[in-house]
Structure 1
Amino acid sequence: MHIEEHEVVVLGTHQSWAPLITTMINIHSEMFVPSHIIWSLFSTIFMNLCCLGFVALAYSMKSRDWKMVGDMIGAQAYASTTKCLNIWALVLGLFLIIMFIIIFTTGSLIIFQAISEIIQGYGGY
């Protein structure tokens, strides 16, 4: 129980004939909801594996729209989905890049080895 409430209970009713003046303060807490639109644009341009970048961009726009309307719960839901889609696009894109580098380097080594064997075969005759 708050101190003010306790004092009212102890004192009973208001003792003065003057009207009781109350002040109400409304505190609006602005909830920050990121739309992840820059990250989605990056995913769309550079890491658009299985069109996850396009889907993430669409969800980030929906999140921004819901935030403009004032529905923070809907905006938070779309922002959460956007974040997950962007993470998946990033992970799969990095995996694809790493696999391309591995295949390119091993393929180059295999081709180099085959060419050197061909050259050694011609030199032996």
Structure 2
Amino acid sequence: MAHSVDIHVGKRLRHRRWMVGMTQGELASALGIRFQQIQKYESGANRISASRLWDTAQALEVSIAYFFYGLDARDSDIPDDFLDAETLIHFYRTMPDAERRLLREMAAGLRETVSASL
């Protein structure tokens, strides 16, 4: 049975890989392994060694700490919607320029409305 830490690290790995637009095959190639191993890491079925975690962090351009973020109870002051914010950033970055402009205008209008009501 998979350990809860391995599952957490695997979910963070999957999320980051998705955020940078990398396939399992591309990450596997960067690490010199097969994509099936990435699947096992992401599900928590296989543990990631320290050296492989280091290489993975380098390939995904994050610190090793990224994979453990939110695991410790001491991180309870971190908002639960942190990953949702990352997802929104990903969608924003992949939007066409015209849609981004409209979204910025909408956000500016919302900010003005909220400021006026305070």
Under a length normalisation based on structure 1, what TM-score does the superposition of the two structures give? 0.29
- Look at both structures and tell me which one has the larger radius of gyration over its CA atoms: 1
